[in-house]
Every structure is written in C-alpha cells, then in structure tokens.
Structure 1
Amino acid sequence: MRENPLDLTGRIVVVAGASGGGLGSAVTRMAAENGATVIAVSRSQEKLDEHVGPLIEQGLAVITVTADVEEEAGVTKVMDAVRDAPGKLHGLVTVVGGGPPPSWGNAGKLPRNTWHELFSKNLDSMFFISQAVTAELRRQKLKGSVVAISSITAIGAQPYNVAYGAAKAAVLSVVRTMALELAAEGIRVNAVAPGAMTSPASLLPPNPELERQAIPMGRKGDVAEIANSVLFLLSDMGSYLTGQCLTVDGGISVKWSHLREDNTPLLITNEPFLTAMKAD
C-alpha cells in the first residue's frame, strides 16, 4: 500500500459519465486532484468542454473522450484512449445512467420500449465498459478497482420508477458476480448507492422542509460527499473491500416508513413511553 492510500499517481482511471456537472464531474476532479490520469467519457463534447475543460486548464491530467458506452464502438474508443494514456490502468467509475420523469409511471402501464431503454442506459452501459476495463486489467496482469454507481432505489422500492430501480438492482448483481470472479486476480468491484443529492441532474427542486422530514440527516447530500465514497473505494483505502454496496444516503434507506419525523414509531401512541424515548 502507498504511503498515502488515496494517492492515484501513475494510475489511469476511466470515468464514464463525467460531464453532467454533478457526480461524474466531481469524481473526475477528485481522482485527478489525487494524481490520476482520468479518461473522462461523455456522449457530449460540449458538456465535456463545459464541465471538464476547466480541470484541464488547471493543469490536471484529464483526457476527454466523446463516446457512448452503451454501444460497442463507444467502448472500443474508450479502450483505445486508455492504451494511449500515460500510466497504468487502475480504475473505472460508471456514473452513466438515469431515470428521467418521462420514464416514470405505474408499473402496470410501463411501455416495453421504456423498460428496454432504461436497462440499456443503466445496465448495459455499466456492464460492457466494466467488461472491457477488467479484461484489459487481466491482460496486463494489473490489480484495479471498479466502482459502479447504483441507487437507493436498488435497495428499496420506488413506486412509479420500476424500470430504473430494477436496472440499478441488476447493477448490484453484476457487481457481486464480477467481484467473485475477479477477486483472486486483485481486481475489486464495488458499488455506491447514493440517495438524494444536490446536482444539476437532480429531478427535484430544493425543498428544505421535505428534506428534513424524509432524510434522517435533514438534507440532501452534496455530490462531493458521494465522490468521497467513490474515491475511498477506488483507492487503496478500500483495498480489502469487494462485492459491496456502500449506501450514501443520509440514512434514508434505514428509516422505516412507519417512523415519525423524529424517527419514533408512528404506531406507538403511549405518550409516557414516547417522552421517555425522546428524553435520551
């Protein structure tokens, strides 16, 4: 292990979905600031110029690649850039995906094409670039780390967003399977499942009152807080972690629906008992 276990100097890290100005951009910055040569991938060169360009201007080692990793040609283009980049391949972060409001709706009425579209966007994109990166790591006999961005919708139900939740749950299954297949070769595969976070891609406007009611920590997470968790798994700090899903959600996933705003059970109406609990 390196003296500074967060140090990524001399290592190549691919970030698929780097240009949205949210989590992917934050991971790109954080990995580059810790010494990595980052292959920043997006379908939009315009967005890469906007959100990743400033990092290059600052002198950080970031190489932009315009590619769609849902497609074989896009994956090939990314891997060509990896082979041309200075350093040794080490990591991959898959931030690609999403479930925009047009895909929301009752599960019983979800169009077939919407189902396939969200699985391609969230699962295919993650799987095929992961397959290519881990194959290259194995070819070069290198250890490395893959971090897939899943979602808390993969852990608990989110009504009216069934395709997105199912695809992100499938991502976790891929992570666990690949982790076992690759563990003996020193290639770690993990996931991060974010909850609500502040991001340009956020589907919900800020609502401090609702956030206080729904999130035990009382607020959305900042993308930098999620990126910190990604960096932990990507780096040597996570050297003995594989096949895991790190849930970073301010406590949402462990709060049962029958809990009050102060996290005491709704079904308990005995006031002396409630008072005694709150006194602690």
Structure 2
Amino acid sequence: MQNDFLGLDGRVVIVSGAGGGGIGTAVTAMAARAGATVLAVSRSPENLERHVGPLAAEGLAVVPVAADASTDEGIATVMDAAGKADGELHGLVNVAGGAAPATWMRSTRVNREDWRALFTQNLETMFFMSRAVAAELKEQGRPGSIVSISSISGMNTAPYHIGYGTAKAALVAATRTMAVELALDGIRVNAVAPGVTETPASGTYVDQDADRDRRAIAMGRRGRPEEQAGAILFLLSDLSTYITGQTILVDGGLNLKWSHLAADNTTLFLKDESFRAAITRE
C-alpha cells in the first residue's frame, strides 16, 4: 500500500553518485524499497560492490552501473542501461558532486583549474545528466521527476569554499530554469540542499562535537543520509506532483541560526586547527 502511495512501482529511477555510502546509497536503498528499479551509478566499481552490492543481495531491484556521469560516454552508458531496465523511466537523482578538502581556501588563492573542476563536478555533471534524462522522457512522452543535490553552501555564503558554494548556487538556478522549460511536459525539476550530514565524504574534514552541534543547529544534531533521502524520495514520488523549481533545505534548522561561523568566518565544524590555518593563509 505504501509503495502504491509513493507511486514508484514499475518505474526506473537513476541515482547518479550512488556508490559513496552516503546520501546516494541511502536514496538507492529507499527508492528500491519503495518499488522502483534503481540504476545505481558510480564511476567506482569498487564502491558499487561495497555499498550497492549488499542491496542487490537483499533482493532489491538495484542495478549497479559503472560509469562516469561527468562525461558524455558515461552518460551514454547510463542511458543505455535505462533503456534495458525493467520498467518505465521516471526519475533521476543527481548526487554526484562534492569537493575535496584541498579545494578549501581563500578566494584570492583559487585558480582557474580548481574553479573549473568544482563546476564540472557539481554543476556540469548535474546539468548534462538531467538533460539526457529529460530528453528521453520527452521522446517517450512520459512525465518524470529530476532531483539534484545542492547544499546549504549554495543557499547562503560559503567562506573559504567559494567555488563549491557558487557551483551549488548555480545548480539551484539551473533547477529553476529547467523546471520552467519542462513543466508543460510533465517533468518536474527540484533540488534538496543538505546541511551538515554524517556521510563518509563529510567525515574527511568534520569531526564529532555534540556540544557544538547543539549550539549551531536548531535541532541540536547533524542529519543522517536517510533523512536527506526521505526528502528526495518525496520529490521523486507522486506525493509531490504539484511541486517544481523548488530547493528544499534539509538542515535541521542550521540556516535559521546561522551561528556556525567562528570569529575568523571559518566554519566551526572543521576537524582540526591545522586545516583551519591552511585554508585561511594568504
């Protein structure tokens, strides 16, 4: 009954960036349990085996797809797999993105190579993957839902992380424009902007400090990947058929307080002082 209510039975959902063990993996599991056939896309076969393999072993309709969604060849591989999947294409979740700790620095130190790499990773990958899925849905004359991961950094300021924050803000703008263009085709385009979430990727520069979390976040704790996945599943499903062009902040109220910046405007969530010193140097 729940699966019928969500409306994902018999539908194919692509999750780009499914193999990291964080939000993408959680979305893959949740969508499959809601009845979808999920194409779990990652450029790392090892990550697919580690994080997605157990889901398939449970008997869930999860199809691992090793492909780099930042390339035309990778997107073609994904779309070929979608054409062969059991069910009708319905949704896309763009999780692939992020930024390595080495990309944190003052704006005056950012070079073109770093800037372009962040935009490729966080904006181009989302746009061209969305473009391919939207074109296929239009050709089939089918409605659908595209959901992309922005960030709280794209909804406000991102001190010492300007490339990432700006790319995520551009993702929000692209979401709004595509939503208008595709609305009459029945294709909805939305985004989710996570706050601080406990994922393997965030663990590379964020440490554990429950007292600080209580001070900085209205709900007093960090989010879990499954809580981001819940919002994404809502936007994928027939529960949200009149919602398009929106970016939903899923941050536990972090944006309401916005008190997580230290006196030097670096985020209080940074793991260690040596990292703080490295990113703020002239």
TM-score (norm 2): 0.89
The 3-state SS of whatever aligns with 1:221 is: coil
Q: How does 1:97-112 map to 2 (within 5 A)?
A: 97-112=97-112
User: What RMSD, in angstroms, separates the aligned Cα atoms of the two structures?
Assistant: 1.5
SS at match of 1:83: helix
2:28 partner SS:
helix
Quick one: distance in 2 between partners of 1:70 and 1:5? 34
**Residue 10 of structure 2 corresponds to residue 22 of structure 1:** no
Instruction: Tell me how far 1:256 sits from its aligned partner.
Output: 4.5
Percent identity between matched residues is: 53
Q: CA distance change for structure 1 residues 14 and 216 in 2, over 3 Å: closer, same or farther?
A: same
Aligned to 1:144: 144
Q: Give the aligned partner of residue 241 of structure 1.
A: 243
> What SS does the aligned partner of 1:197 have?
coil
Q: Tell me the equivalent position of 1:252.
A: 254
Match of 1:180 in 2: 180
Inter-CA distance 108–29: structure 2 relative to 1 (3 Å threshold): same
For residue 82 of structure 1, give the secondary structure of its aligned residue in structure 2: helix
Is contact 2:137–2:144 with CA below 8 Å preserved after alignment?
Answer: yes
Give 1:206's aligned residue.
208
Alignment coverage as a number of residue pairs:
258
2: distance between equivalents of 1:125 and 1:93?
12
Q: 1:232 aligns with which of 231, 234, 243?
A: 234
* Whole-angstrom CA distance in 2 between matches of 1:198 and 1:258: 16
TM-score (norm 1): 0.90
Provide the residue aligned with 1:195 in structure 2.
195
Give the whole-Å Cα distance in 2 for the aligned partners of 1:3 and 1:127: 29
Q: Which SS does the other structure have where 2:189 is aligned?
A: strand
The answer (yes or no) to whether the contact 2:17–2:24 under 8 Å persists in 1 is yes
Q: Given the alignment of the two structures, is residue 222 of structure 1 paired with residue 216 of structure 2, yes or no?
A: no
> Where in structure 2 are the equivalents of 1:114-129 lying within 5 Å?
114-129=114-129
SS at match of 1:247: strand
Give a deviation string over 1:60-87, Cα, whole Å, max 9, x none.
1111111111100000000000001111
Tell me the distance in 2 between the aligned counterparts of 1:213 and 1:88: 46
Q: 2 CA distance for matches of 1:257 and 1:233?
A: 29
- Separation in 1, partners of 2:257, 2:5: 33
Q: Give 5+ residue unaligned stretches, structure 1.
A: 260-280
What residue ranges of structure 2 are gaps of 5+ in the alignment?
A: 262-282
State the structure with more CA Rg: 1
**Deviation, structure 1 residue 206:** 1.5
